[in-house]
Amino acid sequence: MKRENSDEQKIQTALENPKFMWRTISGISNETKVSTDTVRKVIVSKGDRVVMSSVPNTKGESLFASREKHRQQTSPFKRLISAFKNRGD
């Protein structure tokens, strides 16, 4: 159980990394040294704290950001549209 919490903290920290607005699962995995399966599970289980972009990266990979970071760096209008779509851009 303690390792799960540690992995969750690492993933949350990676999502809030100021170098990136959006993160791929593989990018988070590389930064945290946590398996991509675990990263995926944590992102799904913490959906209230993570937002997914409606547009994938150029390789077709899904992009994620911490909801708090997205809120701070996105205009109110874009956040309103994102809320309707339940995704971020």
Query: Cα separations (Å) of 35 from 7, 53, 65, 82, 85?
Result: 10, 21, 18, 29, 29
Domains, the chain, ranges and CATH? Answer: 2-85 (1.10.10.10)
Report the SS3 class of residue 2. helix
Structure confidence at residue 88 (pLDDT): 53
> Tens digit of pLDDT per residue, the chain (89 long)?
456 679 999 999 999 999 999 999 999 999 999 999 999 999 999 888 999 998 999 999 999 999 888 777 766 766 666 666 665 55
